[in-house]
Structure 1
């Protein structure tokens, strides 16, 4: 299960604070390590000092919660977080939304865009203004019938079992596919979750003329986490988010985790 070692990409902006709160909550729930990182560009002593100052602010916000704080030099924040995560063997990178986006929704900037197309670790994004509850309430996997999602069903079912929360599998019906086939595919995924873990997953088909309308037909609990599998176009052991999954991410009102291809 991801969350054994969480790295948070921290900035002094609101998105950095949202990521810090979410990353700290995840590490508390999983009992994993927490690293807070501030990335700064090479050849910029002033920004290196600013990164250290940001980390001091992060430590004040976290208080006594155990964490390691690291300033790291890199040509770009996304690249820096990915490289640092590999070096310290973190398995989850948490970042926030860019400033100026809609409150309660995920807004993708340069850092998150880089991670969503090249990261070797799972990536979690916090909606703007997100305040995590003390405990998770449910894991929801966006399911499409393909090998990447079938692998994710087993992994997410194991995580739900370990956390003691329900598992929900959702499929979007955007009125372009055969509803009967979508239902059959979802039933097979529910069976896969049961056979691999003994957990009885909920299953819902969300109908709408677009992704946002479909997701709005579903109930979302406080403390819910949405998971997406990487695209089939992703390189092995890397994240790459397809067009539909990107739309799901932008329309989500809860944190979204994207798993690398071949995640284990």
Structure 2
């Protein structure tokens, strides 16, 4: 289960605070390590000092909560977080929404865009203004019948079992596919979850004329977490989201975790 070592990409803005709150909540549930990192560009002493100031602010936010604080030099924040995560053996990178996005939704900036197309570790994004509850209430996997998602079913089911929360599998029906086939595919995923873990997963088809409408047609109670598998186009052990999954991420009202290809 991801969360044994979480690295938070911290910036001194609302998105950074959202990421810090979410990353802290995850490690409180998993008992994992927490690293708070600020990335600054090379050859910029002033921004290096600002990075340290940001980390001091983060430490003030966390108080006595154990964490490691790191300022890391890199040409890009997304690249820096990916490299740092590999070096310290973190298994999850948490970032916030980019400035200017809609409250309660995820806006993709340059940092998250890089991570969603090249990260070697799982990536989680917090919607703007997100405040995590004390405990998770459910894991939801966005399911499409393909090998990456089939592998994710058992992984997410195992995580739900360990957390003691329900598992929901949702498939989008955008009125362009055979509805009967989508139901059959979803039934297969439910069976995969049962055979792998003994969990009786909920199954739901989200209907709409576009992704945002479909996502909005199903309930997302506080404490829900949406999980997506990477595209088949992803390199081995890398995150890569396709066009449809990116639309799902942008429409989500809860945090979204994206698993690298071949994640275990």
Structures share fold, TM-score greater than 0.5:
yes
Q: Which residue of 2 aligns with 1:188?
A: 188
Match of 1:41 in 2: 41
> Whole-Å Cα distance in 2 between the matches of residues 90 and 237 of structure 1?
14
Q: How many angstroms apart in 2 are the aligned matches of 1:181 and 1:64?
A: 52
How many residue pairs get matched? 264
1:99 deviates by: 1.1
CA RMSD of aligned residues (A): 0.3
Unaligned segments of structure 1, at least 5 residues: none
1:124-203 matches, cutoff 5 A: 124-203=124-203
Distance of 1:255 and 1:33 partners within structure 2: 20
Q: Aligned residue for 1:236?
A: 236
Equivalent positions of 1:17-166 (< 5 A) are 17-166=17-166
For 2:133 and 2:66, locate their aligned partners in 1 and report how far apart those are by CA, in whole Å.
19
3-state SS of 1:65 partner: coil
What secondary structure, in the 3-state scheme, does the structure 1 residue paired with 2:241 have? coil
Q: Which runs of 5+ in 2 are unaligned?
A: none
- After TM superposition, the score normalised by the length of structure 1 is 1.00
Runs of 4+ in structure 1 deviating by more than 2 angstroms, as ranges, are none
In the TM superposition, what are the counterparts of 1:3-18 in structure 2 within 5 Å? 3-18=3-18
Deviation at 1:100, TM superposition (A): 1.0
TM-aligned CA deviation for residue 174 of structure 1: 0.2
Aligned-partner Cα distance in 1 for 2:241–2:156: 18
Q: How does 1:214-229 map to 2 (within 5 A)?
A: 214-229=214-229
Once residues 170 and 100 of structure 2 are traced to their aligned partners in structure 1, the CA distance between those partners, rounded to angstroms, is 30
Determine the C-alpha separation between the residues in 1 that align with 2:101 and 2:214: 21
Q: In 2, Cα distance between the equivalents of 1:63 and 1:155?
A: 33
Superposed displacement of residue 221, structure 1: 1.1
- Which residue number in structure 1 is paired with residue 249 of structure 2? 249
Work out the CA distance in 1 between the residues paired with 2:219 and 2:246: 20
